[in-house]
Chain A
Amino acid sequence: MCRQWLRFLFVLALFGMPAWTLAQTAAMAPAANAPASQAQIAALQQAVAQAQMSGDNAWMLVSAALVLLMTAPGLTLFYGGLVRRKNILGTMMQSFAMMALITVLWAVVGYSLAFGHGNGFLGGFEHLFLRGVTLAPNPAYAATIPEQTFMVYQLMFAIITPALITGAFAERVKFSSMAVFLTLWSLVVYCPMAHMVWGVGGLLNFNTPGAHWPVLDFAGGTVVHITSGVSALVCALYLGKRLGYPEENMAPHSLVLSFIGAGLLWFGWFGFNAGSALSAGPLATSAFVNTHFAAAAAAITWTAAEWVLNGKPTALGAISGAVAGLATITQASGFVQPMSALLIGAIAGLVCCLMVLKIKKIFGYDDSLDAFGVHGMGGTIGALLTGLFASGAINAVFGKGTDGLPHPAGAIDGNWRQVWNQAVGVGLGWALAIAGTLVLLFLVDRTMGLRVPATDEVEGLDLSQHGEEGYDLNG
């Protein structure tokens, strides 16, 4: 009995505590109401800015790592599984080489050419050797993360873009020539395109005051997928078919590897697209959701289309569809509503499937791993569909009116002109990719030779180019 009373008193005391503390706070309130000094306000503002920077920077560093993961092991496994067993190391090495080569190039000159000031077409040289690229934010690009974070994040894009091209000349290109060609390609095609669309004062950048053709490219549909995909087509046409194509059996040697690669690509794409918000805010969420939705929808439509055309829903079709959806939504990811993303993905799966299954056959070129069919085609329709579906309510890219409502972004908002703007971006991307790639291929072919000798091609790139074997079954 006594014990129960004690317990009751204890509980009463517990409930009483907050009331007592509140009373104390109230007693202190008049002091807190005194006007804060300028110094206090400044300190508070700084603390808020620092808090925002830690949040945004955390996401951006993770995103940068995710985008690198897309190249290796994502793309290396995806492409590696699609080639014949004698070429797996050669194929993986082509992408991996980009991680090393483009990184050095970016530090020395690439970043400056893409994101320095300069003219509408190309950045300047003020950031050579990363001069002036510090840990302080550069508000021209991202006000809440250190510029070095922005620089290294963009570097990961510069790496994967030429790596995507390697799918077109797989199983037949000389390693040395490939390395020289893609390094030069990065300077001649990638950097100018990145500058035009994203760079300060870029011709197509919607932030450039008075831009004639403001292009909406959230995460690189034009900059990454059109440039790489179209260049891939040019490479496939210039190099010619693999020996024995299409009579010989060139079936993928391990779709298991391709599956793992595709899974990693899907995973890494969240960094690619949601990271392109350059902050950890709601826009990143929007891009994340759209990315995922488009991949899923495209996996379904590609598989379904193949089921109808060939009688079976293939595993390779499902993963190819997902990648096509991801490539296509890239440009639109931070501009559209989730339902638009589903639709864009569904269209992407269908169009890219028809491209790879039917149209490639009609023209007969050997785009070995379908870099054009998936990335070139996906990038192109993605660019145009962005003009159709961009919504000012998701991302007020063209600012807000005096009534506080966003100006129309895409045709869905009533701004049909944006489809035309996107088409101009597509046209410039195609033109630059075709011209730059042709000139560089010609130069490298004349000086170094692009293709391996026929005997090396038969032996496989692993042994002939690297003196190694991917699978040592006697080991």
Chain B
Amino acid sequence: MVKIEAIIQPVKLDAVKAALLEAGIEGITILEARGHGRQKGHTEFYRGREYTVDLIPKIKLEIAVADSLEDKVVNAILNAARTGRIGDGKIFISRLEEAIRVRNDERGESAL
């Protein structure tokens, strides 16, 4: 099993969700997040005072999938979330030790 965490532009959420369902995922968790990468935010002016807003609103997706789905899911996110401009986000993949369904203590891939 792998855990795929993806940080994307908020406007791309619907497109990414649709692509993921198409790719065959069962469940998804999203978080409203703030952060910056190399882009380092933007500048705002209020009555001449300059503020640097370096933490920009983003959406973070967390999906746990079976190893067999990994490439399909990653490609789905890449295709749906990409605009080609700075700030498109990142994908992080990590090995997942265990998954447990709270309702019935089911474990492993069948719990996903």
Q: Is the CB of A251 within 8 A of B48?
A: no
Q: Is the CB of A249 within 8 A of B51?
A: yes
Q: Which of B39-47, B78-86, B102-110 forms part of the interface with chain A?
A: B39-47
Which residues of chain A are within 8 angstroms of B53 by Cβ–Cβ distance?
A: 249
A312 located at the interface, meaning its Cβ lies under 8 Å from any Cβ of chain B in the complex? yes
Chain B positions 4-39 with a Cβ under 8 Å from a chain A Cβ: none
B38 to chain A, nearest CB (A): 21
B95 located at the interface, meaning its Cβ lies under 8 Å from any Cβ of chain A in the complex? no
Q: Is the CB of A312 within 8 A of B47?
A: no
Q: Which of A114-122, A156-164, A354-362 forms part of the interface with chain B?
A: A354-362
Q: Is the CB of A357 within 8 A of B44?
A: no
A370 located at the interface, meaning its Cβ lies under 8 Å from any Cβ of chain B in the complex? yes
**Central interface residue in A246, A251, A358, by most chain B CB within 10 Å:** A251
User: In the docked arrangement, what's the CA distance between A306 and B48, Å?
Assistant: 8
Q: Is the CB of B49 within 8 A of A310?
A: no
User: In the docked arrangement, what's the CA distance between A310 and B51, Å?
Assistant: 13
A317 located at the interface, meaning its Cβ lies under 8 Å from any Cβ of chain B in the complex? yes
Q: Which of A246, A309, A312 contacts B49 (CB 8 A)?
A: A246
Chain A positions 356-385 with a Cβ under 8 Å from a chain B Cβ: 356-358, 360-361, 370
The interface size of chain B toward A, counting residues with CB under 8 Å, comes to 8
Q: Is the CB of B49 within 8 A of A316?
A: no
Q: Is the CB of B45 within 8 A of A310?
A: yes
A314 located at the interface, meaning its Cβ lies under 8 Å from any Cβ of chain B in the complex? yes
User: In the docked arrangement, what's the CA distance between A113 and B44, Å?
Assistant: 47
B56 to chain A, nearest CB (A): 14
Which residues of chain A are within 8 angstroms of B45 by Cβ–Cβ distance?
A: 306, 310, 312, 314
Which residues of chain B are within 8 angstroms of A360 by Cβ–Cβ distance?
A: 48
Which residues of chain A are within 8 angstroms of B49 by Cβ–Cβ distance?
A: 246, 250-251
Q: Is the CB of A310 within 8 A of B48?
A: yes
A320 located at the interface, meaning its Cβ lies under 8 Å from any Cβ of chain B in the complex? yes
Q: Is the CB of B47 within 8 A of A317?
A: yes
Residue of B whose beta carbon sits closest to that of A354: B48
Which residues of chain A are within 8 angstroms of B47 by Cβ–Cβ distance?
A: 316-317, 320, 356-357, 370
Chain B positions 44-100 with a Cβ under 8 Å from a chain A Cβ: 44-49, 51, 53
Q: Is the CB of B46 within 8 A of A252?
A: yes
Chain A positions 221-256 with a Cβ under 8 Å from a chain B Cβ: 246, 249-252
Q: Which of A249, A250, A252, A361 contacts B48 (CB 8 A)?
A: A361
Q: Is the interface of A mostly helix, strand, loop or mixed?
A: helix
Which residues of chain A are within 8 angstroms of B46 by Cβ–Cβ distance?
A: 251-252, 314, 316
Which residues of chain B are within 8 angstroms of A250 by Cβ–Cβ distance?
A: 49
Which residues of chain B are within 8 angstroms of A312 by Cβ–Cβ distance?
A: 45
Which residues of chain B are within 8 angstroms of A357 by Cβ–Cβ distance?
A: 47-48
A352 to chain B, nearest CB (A): 10
B53 to chain A, nearest CB (A): 8
Residue of A whose beta carbon sits closest to that of B47: A356
Which residues of chain B are within 8 angstroms of A309 by Cβ–Cβ distance?
A: 48
**Central interface residue in B45, B47, B49, B53, by most chain A CB within 10 Å:** B47
User: In the docked arrangement, what's the CA distance between A370 and B46, Å?
Assistant: 12
User: In the docked arrangement, what's the CA distance between A360 and B48, Å?
Assistant: 10
Which residues of chain B are within 8 angstroms of A306 by Cβ–Cβ distance?
A: 45, 48
User: In the docked arrangement, what's the CA distance between A310 and B47, Å?
Assistant: 10
Cβ proximity bits A249-280 to B, threshold 8 Å, 1 near / 0 not = 11110000000000000000000000000000
A299 to chain B, nearest CB (A): 14
Q: Is the CB of A358 within 8 A of B48?
A: yes
Which residues of chain B are within 8 angstroms of A320 by Cβ–Cβ distance?
A: 47
Cβ proximity bits A368-407 to B, threshold 8 Å, 1 near / 0 not = 0010000000000000000000000000000000000000
Residue of A whose beta carbon sits closest to that of B50: A310
B51 to chain A, nearest CB (A): 5
User: In the docked arrangement, what's the CA distance between A312 and B42, Å?
Assistant: 14
User: In the docked arrangement, what's the CA distance between A310 and B49, Å?
Assistant: 10
A404 to chain B, nearest CB (A): 50
Q: Which of A246, A251, A356, A370 contacts B44 (CB 8 A)?
A: A251
B7 to chain A, nearest CB (A): 23
A178 to chain B, nearest CB (A): 23
Residue of A whose beta carbon sits closest to that of B48: A357
User: In the docked arrangement, what's the CA distance between A310 and B48, Å?
Assistant: 7
Q: Is the CB of A356 within 8 A of B48?
A: yes
User: In the docked arrangement, what's the CA distance between A433 and B44, Å?
Assistant: 35
User: In the docked arrangement, what's the CA distance between A249 and B44, Å?
Assistant: 10
User: In the docked arrangement, what's the CA distance between A361 and B51, Å?
Assistant: 14
User: In the docked arrangement, what's the CA distance between A251 and B48, Å?
Assistant: 11
Query: B: which residues have CB within 8 A of A?
Result: 44-49, 51, 53
12 contacts between A and B (CB under 8 A): A249-B51, A249-B53, A251-B44, A251-B49, A251-B51, A306-B45, A306-B48, A309-B48, A316-B46, A320-B47, A356-B47, A356-B48
Query: A: which residues have CB within 8 A of B?
Result: 246, 249-252, 306, 309-310, 312, 314, 316-317, 320, 356-358, 360-361, 370
* Given pairs A249-B51, A252-B46, 19 additional interface contacts (CB within 8 A): A249-B53, A250-B49, A251-B44, A251-B46, A251-B49, A251-B51, A306-B48, A309-B48, A310-B48, A312-B45, A314-B46, A316-B46, A316-B47, A320-B47, A356-B47, A357-B48, A358-B48, A361-B48, A370-B47
The 10 A-B pairs at the shortest CB distance, nearest first, are namely A357-B48, A249-B51, A251-B51, A310-B45, A251-B46, A356-B47, A316-B46, A252-B46, A314-B45, A316-B47
